[in-house]
Amino acid sequence: MKRCPQCLFLYPDSDEKCDFDQTVLEAVDDSALEPAIRPKKRSLAVPVAAAIALILGVLVVTVYYAFSQQPQKASAVTENTVNVPPTPTPTAVAASPSPSPVPSPSPSPTPSPKASPSISTAHTRATSDPVSTSGPGIGTRQGGKPVILLASGGKIDADEVWRTKDGVWYRRNGMVTLLKRGQVKTIVTR
């Protein structure tokens, strides 16, 4: 290999003069070249570190997946072995068209079974307690029969109607029913 003494540019052995300043080139050994000019040896540290990181990542995901599947399998086994008694269907309670001034009896607590699991969901409780309307509703204090005008255009003739935070309740022929607020347009009396 040859080098220009002026600009220190490297040339192959076949060249005689520098292309830039036309100076005669000198022959140089590879050992005399500066370390910055020599080609660098490739380091294996980066590919080895990447391979180790990949293996550790796959190992962590595998362990996580194995532990997250065990509770699901255990719950599937226990779901098949737990006998849940069927929930009783609610029955209609016959009531008089107007509320009576007789106070309702307080319900007595019933002992709960200790061995069977308790599952409670909204609106699935059936009781024998009397239906409470929280006082007289529309129809008993105004004297006329209330008519519920629905948002869909229909109408319901009721014996009694009252509003709660849940929606509009009405009694018709002894049956008490709840309508959601969005279903009711207005309530009028005849």
| Residue 38 binned pLDDT confidence (cut-offs 50, 70, 90) | low
For 60-118, what is each residue's pLDDT tens digit? 999 998 888 876 665 555 555 555 566 666 565 555 555 555 555 555 555 555 555 55
pLDDT of residue 126: 45
Same domain, 51 and 70: yes
Q: Is residue 98 part of a domain?
A: no
For the chain, what percent of residues have pLDDT higher than 70?
Answer: 56
For 103-122, what is each residue's pLDDT tens digit? 555 555 555 555 555 554 44
Q: Is residue 97 part of a domain?
A: no
Domain enclosing residue 158, as ranges? 146-189
Q: Is residue 137 part of a domain?
A: no
Same domain, 31 and 6: yes
**The total number of structural domains that make up the chain:** 3
Same domain, 185 and 151: yes
Q: Work out whether strand 146-150 and strand 184-189 pair parallel, antiparallel, or are unpaired.
A: antiparallel
**C-alpha count within 13 angstroms, C-beta hemisphere, residue 105:** 5
Q: Is residue 88 part of a domain?
A: no
- When computed from its CA atoms, the radius of gyration of the chain, rounded to whole angstroms, is 45
Residue/partner pairs of 98-103 with CB below 8 Å, 24 or more apart: 98/136, 98/140, 98/160, 99/133, 99/135, 99/136, 99/140
CATH number at residue 160: 2.30.30
Is residue 129 scored above 50 in pLDDT? no
CB 139 within 8 A of CB 160: yes
Q: Is residue 101 part of a domain?
A: no
Q: Is residue 18 part of a domain?
A: yes
Q: Is residue 13 part of a domain?
A: yes
